[in-house]
Structure 1
Amino acid sequence: MPGRRCPRRGRRLPVRRTRCAPRPAPRTTDLLAQRFDHIVFTGSGSVGRIVMGAAARHLTPVTLELGGKSPVWFDDDARLHRAARRLAWAKFTNAGQTCVAPDYVMTTPGRIPALVDALQQAITDLWGADPRTSRDYGRIVNERQFDRLTALFDGTEAVIGGECDRAERCIAPAVVTLPTADHPTVSPAAVHPLLREEVFGPVLPILLVDSAEHAAQVINRGDKPLALYVFTSSARTRRLFEQHTSSGAVVHDASLVHVAATGLPFGGVGASGMVA
């Protein structure tokens, strides 16, 4: 399949960008002006704020499912390949375009080479040597989102994949690192947009942290995520994330699958959503 690698540091695609605040479509604006008994919205936090503001005018209760940056902690060396396969499947299903997709991975520096190798093997097992030719690998929903995602590669170092084909709206599964990731800040105020906004696409950053405690601090400095995925064999580490972070869900040794458990509640906290 024809294609090329996405831009790296110092190179940029000619993309169309806007810095204007998002606006709902006119039909949505008309709907928001009505006096509903309850509003249910699924989408981005920026539009969720618009929906909530419109609902407040009529004191209408809202249910917001907003996604966000769902983190992963990894230190399960004994079950490395199982963890990598589950992580790759969850991240790159539908080309990363799910609200509970793993958004970024945190681990210690010495674990990165083995994790990258295991992720590469998992991607090959799931979608072949060139996922762009796989009938099971998704496409980006439109060109605007394709351009947004390829712009996120600026200033990163790709360690896996990332080949792009704009005509096909295809971005191969990509795992990247950031030069400043040894002191990561994941929040709307982060320097790099990859750490600032929900990725919602097939780009997975790996961030270096000193320990699980450091990872919990990174999570707590940002907005509360919709999901938190913990791959560890340590009961102490599980308790650390359960007791010292806040998220819509904490899932151990898996990702994404909890939304299929219909007997479990589902929702976010704060910026990742709310149920009224």
Structure 2
Amino acid sequence: MGSDATAIFDAEAAQTMMKELRAVYGSGATKSYDWRVSQLSQLLKLIEYHEDDIAAALRSDLSKPDIESYVYEIGVLKSSIKLALKELRKWMSPEKVKTSLISFPSSAKIVPEPLGIVLIISAWNYPFLLSLDPLVGAIAAGNAAVLKPSEISPVSSALIAKLVREYMDSSTIRVVEGAVAETSVLLEQKWDKICYTGNAVVGRIVMAAAAKHLTPVLLELGGKCPAVVDLNINLQVACRRIIMGKWGSNNGQTCVSPDYIITTKANAPKLIDALKTELEKFYGKNMLESNDLSRIVNSNHFARLIKLLDEDKVSGKVVYGGKRDESILKIMPTILLDVPRNSLIMKEEIFGPLLPILTVDRLEDSFNIINSGTKPLAAYLFTNDKRFREHFVTEVSAGGLVVNDTTIHLGVLTLPFGGVGDSGMGSYHGKFSFDAFSHKKAVLYRGFVADADIRYPPYTRKKLRLLQALLGGSFLTIILALFGRN
């Protein structure tokens, strides 16, 4: 559905698709352990058998270097699927929990059950990872799913549609390609959960559409991710890690890339020099010719970034880089110093190769800068000061924090990945993906013995005292209530 370029995906097609998916899901086909394992195994084959095709699609859409494709998309996906296959039976098992005196005798457990039919709308910057990684959780939890890849990465979108059709159960997992019209039609349908990765503007549209059907949402948005750089650290290592999180991750077109740096006025010159040195080691003197830097995804985003860079109050703040070539959609890694806080580049997420550095008198002042804006998806700190590190962890609210590195927390599947506030809601990765697409159903078991009169009319003072004791008192209080004493 939606993979044939000549097919029209309209309201009628969407309703037909939903009816078909509801019927198959209603049959219980997706709930078995065997179905989940079979589909996860097929998804792993889809990736392993087509690693070169995936890398080629990413090269075509983004000029993404092969090593970035393998590490950040293919490798992470394979790890995610293998973990789900290994842990699935454990994840699916009901969790036994204690009961209280009020229900004695009884037993209880929490049973994870699938939500139903889920919609996954992914972003263009990591089209395979952001389409298929949520799908891992949706399948593991026993759901049927529809994927909507981003039309801004058209080669990747077409490949996802082709491979899913070839490898996955088409009665329960579909791909719908297209742009705004197709996405709008999808959002009109009633889903059991929507997972959206992208910007906050569209995130609000998704949430408003979901609200009409009381559909829960998992929103992975973004924001301005800060990196705070302290004195007396290994500056070379810090800069290498900042560079890899910024320019080595899709040339800054990543939701968790460092969006700006905060450091002290005294430290800024050394930091800039170290960044320059390491950038030239990685990408050479003529960085626009480097095959190790992704290009800007399209001319609209290129124009958006140039507008940020060429604003009157910003253009004079460039201390390194600034070169651009629209014919190849590339902008050189660019460092800016002390741009005005009210400039466009500091008001919106950059999502590109521009990196402002803000200076403060004391590094503690960084907390006010970070916390005065919207909560970021990630925040980074480089320090050897244990006290300052703990202060940072306590004071800075973000989707995730990393100390002395950038972005690598995404590959740690025991950590949840998600935003807070304007950077999103909900989380996934590893077991958190299974939980994100599951309902935790409470189940209480009782027999027919010990049917106490205390819960039934006529209500008496003695029954009230005993109920109060059972609900909140100690064992002694219960004994006293039984004997009619206060």
Q: For this structure pair, what is the TM-score category when the shorter chain's length is used for normalisation?
A: 0.7 to 0.9
Find the counterpart in structure 1 of residue 217 from structure 2: 62
Counterpart selection for 1:49 from 200, 204, 207: 204
Higher helix share: 2
SS in structure 2 at match of 1:152: helix
Say if 2:313 is the partner of 1:162: no
Q: Which amino acid aligns with 2:406?
A: S
Taking only the aligned residue pairs, the percentage that are identical comes to 44
Residues 199-231 of structure 1: per-residue CA shift (max 9 Å, x gap): 000000001122232101111111111001000
SS in structure 1 at match of 2:365: helix
Give the stretch that moved more between structures: 253-262 or 206-215: 206-215
Q: 1:248 to 1:179 in 2, by over 3 A?
A: closer
Distance 2:399 2:242 in 1: 18
Q: Which amino acid aligns with 1:45?
A: A
Show the 5 A alignment for 1:1-276. Answer: 25-93=180-248, 94-153=250-309, 154=311, 155-156=313-314, 157-180=317-340, 184=341, 191-275=342-426
Distance 1:43 1:126 in 2: 29
Q: Which amino acid aligns with 1:44?
A: N
Q: CA deviation at 1:268?
A: 0.5
TM-score calculated relative to the size of structure 1: 0.86
Distance 1:130 1:172 in 2: 9
Q: Which amino acid aligns with 1:40?
A: C
Which structure has the larger Rg? 2
Q: 1:178 to 1:212 in 2, by over 3 A?
A: closer
Distance 2:345 2:339 in 1: 12
Residues 148-196 of structure 1: per-residue CA shift (max 9 Å, x gap): 001111222111112100000000000012453xxx4xxxxxx211111
SS in structure 2 at match of 1:204: strand
SS in structure 2 at match of 1:216: helix
Distance 1:197 1:72 in 2: 16
Q: Which amino acid aligns with 2:337?
A: T
Q: CA deviation at 1:127?
A: 1.1
TM-align CA RMSD:
1.2
Q: 1:32 to 1:138 in 2, by over 3 A?
A: same
SS in structure 2 at match of 1:52: helix
Tell whether the 8 Å contact from 1:45 to 1:272 is kept in structure 2 after alignment.
yes
SS in structure 1 at match of 2:418: coil
Tell which has more relative contact order, 1 or 2 (C-alpha 8 A, sep 6+).
1
